[in-house]
Amino acid sequence: MYNEKFSNVLQGVPQAVPPIWFMRQAGRYHSHYRALREKHSFVDLCKKPELAAEVALGPIKEFDFDIAILFSDLLFPLEALGMGLEYNPGPQLDRQLNEDNIKQLRPVSEAIEHMNFQSESVKATRELLPKNKSLIGFVGAPWTLFTYAVEGSHKGGLQKAKSKLSLFFEFEKIILDFLYQNIKLQLDAGAEQVVVMDTAAGELNKNMYLSIIAPTIKKIAAQFPKKIAYYSKYTHQGYFQDYFLDQNISGIGFDHRLDLADCLTQERSIFVQGNFDNNMLFCDQDTLKKYLEMDLRKIKELSLEDRNQWICGLGHGVLPKTPEDNIKFVVNFVREYFSE
């Protein structure tokens, strides 16, 4: 029960056509999701396993992606630890983490029980998925969860988060223990990989990233060798050059600011995921085709060995109101382009 192309990526088997999955491939742009959302709250779609499975299945049936992703939300660990969380419609926490209330967070041994719905959602999704499709899970990275806990979002320069680095190190001890158990929960339920999403990482300069974030990612990967992929936004190769040869990390996702052909030709032991500009999916299809050809030409010129372990995707998630026909167009175009 797995996708052959994804399995080849994980095993380092060269292949002409890459597997395809998009971050946020199940979401507001998709009529299937919007129809479910009219009947159910966002929280119910995440926390009721049969609904989460139906949301995750939608883009697989509609667009024939190779890989399905657990439908959930990054912030549920903060809720599990005792921070009130509502969606109106975006996420709102009932407090901002500080030096006093961090001591009021639930013990991890108690908090992790609140994530059992993810285990059931992974199982339910796997049951619905065709046998030739793969399934991955995800969690938020410690730094990104910290920025939400302290600031209520990860927008802007993250002044509060950056000014409370001593608090981050205290939070890190708690959240790492939690994430170890959360990731194990997803893997035990049937997820083939778990992606650690770090959308706030790019707000740190390289030196801060290497001293604050990189060690936490390596710790997580060491707990689950070759089962952890990592994605960060607004970063570049210099931030995570050491990851390329890390024997524990399975893969890295890059945003569209990096040259994917350059990433693929690096000496590496990891898969590479990405990285079309998600905004380009709003173009008319003639323009979109020119853009895809421009980006893919350099990759196709590489040998199969150089471009092995590539998962085709976006530089970030599918945006709301993205035309569904353009999603289909990209998936079909990539497969045809590399089949020739």
Q: Which of 277, 289, 285 is nearest to 323 (CA)?
A: 285
Residue 149, CA atoms < 13 Å, CB-side half-sphere:
33
Hey, what are 48's tokens? 């009721």
Model pLDDT, residue 40? 97
Asked if pLDDT for residue 325 goes beyond 90, the answer is: yes
Q: What is the pLDDT of residue 264?
A: 92
Q: pLDDT at residue 93 above 90? A: yes
Residue entry with tokens 């929280």: 43
Over range 71-88, report the average pLDDT.
96
What confidence score (pLDDT) does residue 38 get? 97
CA distance 261 to 323: 27
| CA separation for the pair 20, 5 (Å, rounded) | 9
In contact, 252 and 273? CB cutoff 8 Å: yes
In terms of Cα–Cα distance, which of 272, 271, 282 is closest to 318? 282
Where are the domains positioned within the chain? 4-339
Please tell me the predicted confidence (pLDDT) of residue 120: 98
Give φ, ψ of 275 to 5 degrees: -160, 45
Cα angle value 20/215/311 (rounded, 5°):
10
Helix axes 165-189, 142-151, angle to 10 degrees: 120
Q: What are phi and psi of 321, to 5 degrees?
A: 70, 10
- Look-up: residue for tokens 């992929």? 229
Write the pLDDT tens digit of every residue in 186-238. 999 999 999 999 999 989 999 999 999 999 999 999 999 999 999 998 887 77
The answer to whether 329 and 291 are in contact (CB under 8 A) is no
Question: Binning pLDDT at 50, 70 and 90, where does residue 55 land?
Answer: very high
Q: What local confidence, expressed as pLDDT, does residue 1 receive?
A: 65
Per-residue pLDDT reduced to its tens digit, 165-179: 999 999 999 999 999
Instruction: Report pLDDT digits (tens) over 96-135.
Output: 999 999 999 999 999 999 999 999 999 999 999 999 999 9
Quick check: 102 and 62 in contact, CB under 8 A? no
Average pLDDT for 20-36: 97
CATH number of 4-339: 3.20.20.210
Q: Dump the DSSP string for 14-74.
A: --SSPPB--TT-SSTT-HHHHHHHHHS-HHHHHHSHHHHHHHHHHHHHHH--SEEE----T
Helix (H, G, I), strand (E, B) or coil at 124: helix
Contact 311, 272 (CB under 8 A): yes
How do residues 261-307 score in pLDDT, each as one tens digit?
998 998 899 999 999 999 999 999 999 999 999 999 999 999 999 99
**Rounded distance, CA 60 to CA 121, Å?**
16
Q: What is the mean pLDDT of residues 54-83?
A: 98
pLDDT at residue 258, as a whole number: 87
Segment among 236-245, 258-267, 325-334 with least mean pLDDT: 236-245
Which residue in the block uniquely carries the two structure tokens 């991890």? 108
Average the pLDDT over 47-70 and give the result. Answer: 98
The arithmetic mean of pLDDT across residues 44-68, rounded, is 98
Residues forming a β-bridge with 135: 68
Residue 231's CB is within 10 A of a number of other CB atoms, namely 25
